[in-house]
Amino acid sequence: QEKEELIEEWQPEPLVPSVPKDHPALNYNIVSGPPTHIITVNGKECINFASFNFLGLLNNEKVKSAAQASLKKYGVGTCGPRGFYGTFDVHLELEERLAKFMRTEEAIIYSYGFATIASAIPAYSKRGDIVFVDEAACFAIQKGLQASRSNIKLFKHNDMADLERLLKEQETEDQKNPRKARVTRRFIVVEGLYMNTGDICPLPELIKLKYKYKVRIFLEESLSFGVLGEHGRGITEHFGINIDDIDLISANMENSLASIGGFCCGRSFIIDHQRLSGQGYCFSASLPPLLAAAAIEALNIMEDNPDIFQTLRTKCERIHKALQGISGLKVVGESFSPALHLQLEESCGSRENDVKLLKRVVDYCMNSGIALTQARYLEKEEKCLPQPSIRVVITVEQTEQELDKAASLLKEAAQSVLN
């Protein structure tokens, strides 16, 4: 009887709390037409400084015709996971090509960029293992770490001294319990070019630490693949490091390759394990063949035109210089990074107000023909929430006049809104 009463009385919370109508993340920009160099946002034509289309391959005719041919041959979907008749010859070809391009033994493809690193980390790191991760790691890495249930140790962004301190602490722990230490795996997870801060990780020092303290390195190269290095092979080529020194390189194909999905590459010893234990690989449908064909063609273009990387770098340096000295906004990111952040020099007190102020700057620019966006984060879920910022993305398709126009427009916007 009492139980009946308890059941009657209990009131659950509503399934979701209501969201205020003017929440900044609720009203999306509607893009009509393709999100290429000239983009039509909310009805207005602008120059695109917001899509990660670094090599301008989104509108490339060769890529589109390769995808068309694949569409005529295979249809759109694959109707199955890789294990059950979902493996097409295009997938095998793309994996081979990626492995050859990155000069590793093997590569594995995922059908969703976010799921790539979020499935790769839990496949190797389990409960009881230790992972040292940079504070500015992107959300996908954080989710992968959460799913793996390992011990996470955060070290300050790009601070090798802090990392070494943590590694030394771990060493003293190990000496207390050598039996446990012999079976605890250790990993360092870093990004080549950080999405949240636009700078690169000091890879040569990391390699030294790797061999000194016997930790494995997982490198996430979503932004640096197709950007850094003489041929676009990423940060290992940029620093001239032997690729076998990195245990696993993971990247998504949604930035430079202008396709969808992601891949991991490395030695067969490591990659083959993911074919049975990568959750996003085994339990999910494979990549639609037209997207795989688009990626193969994009890779061909990257291999045939190695000078676009230098062009991209010159453009990045140009705009990095031009954006210095804007009153009220500071540039965050390396000079050769194609994805920069513009943060407020002085915060106005609360994050909400900062976001509103930045929105006014963005709206000013959009009305004058430059499409920008604020960097979006889930405020409650991030471990180390970055400052609110405007994202500026540089692509090879932008001409020098457009870069200069963008820089001067931002100066104007900052003047009018922030003063």
CB of 313 vs another protein, minimal distance in Å: 19
User: Whose Cβ is closer to another protein: residue 8's or residue 346's?
Assistant: 8
CB of 116 vs another protein, minimal distance in Å: 11
Question: Measuring CA to CA, which residue among 388, 379, 390 is closest to residue 349?
Answer: 388
CB of 162 vs another protein, minimal distance in Å: 22
User: Whose Cβ is closer to another protein: residue 72's or residue 176's?
Assistant: 72
User: Whose Cβ is closer to another protein: residue 161's or residue 384's?
Assistant: 384
CB of 26 vs another protein, minimal distance in Å: 5
User: What is the rounded CA–CA span in Å between residue 353 and residue 349?
Assistant: 7
DSSP per position, 326-344: -TTEEEES-TT-SEEEEEE
Note whether 100 and 303 are within 8 A (CB): no
DSSP, res 92? H
User: Whose Cβ is closer to another protein: residue 33's or residue 325's?
Assistant: 33
CB of 370 vs another protein, minimal distance in Å: 12
Q: Output the six-digit token pair for 70.
A: 């694949």
In sequence order, the β-bridge partners of residue 341 are: 332, 391
CB of 267 vs another protein, minimal distance in Å: 7
Note whether 117 and 140 are within 8 A (CB): yes
User: What is the rounded CA–CA span in Å between residue 56 and residue 36?
Assistant: 8
β pairing state of 106-110 and 151-155: unpaired
Question: Measuring CA to CA, which residue among 70, 88, 68 is closest to residue 78?
Answer: 88
User: Whose Cβ is closer to another protein: residue 73's or residue 168's?
Assistant: 73
CB of 419 vs another protein, minimal distance in Å: 27
User: Whose Cβ is closer to another protein: residue 112's or residue 309's?
Assistant: 112
User: Whose Cβ is closer to another protein: residue 100's or residue 212's?
Assistant: 212
What letter represents residue 190's amino acid? Answer: V
User: Whose Cβ is closer to another protein: residue 176's or residue 182's?
Assistant: 182
CB of 238 vs another protein, minimal distance in Å: 22
CB of 68 vs another protein, minimal distance in Å: 6
C-alpha angle 225-231-187 in degrees, rounded to nearest 5: 40
Question: Measuring CA to CA, which residue among 226, 260, 257, 205 is closest to residue 60?
Answer: 257
User: Whose Cβ is closer to another protein: residue 83's or residue 325's?
Assistant: 83
Lateral strand order in the sheet of 130-134: 106-110, 262-266, 248-252, 216-220, 186-191, 130-134, 151-155
Question: Measuring CA to CA, which residue among 121, 143, 137 is closest to residue 218?
Answer: 121
User: What is the rounded CA–CA span in Å between residue 392 and residue 224?
Assistant: 16
What letter represents residue 387's amino acid? Answer: Q
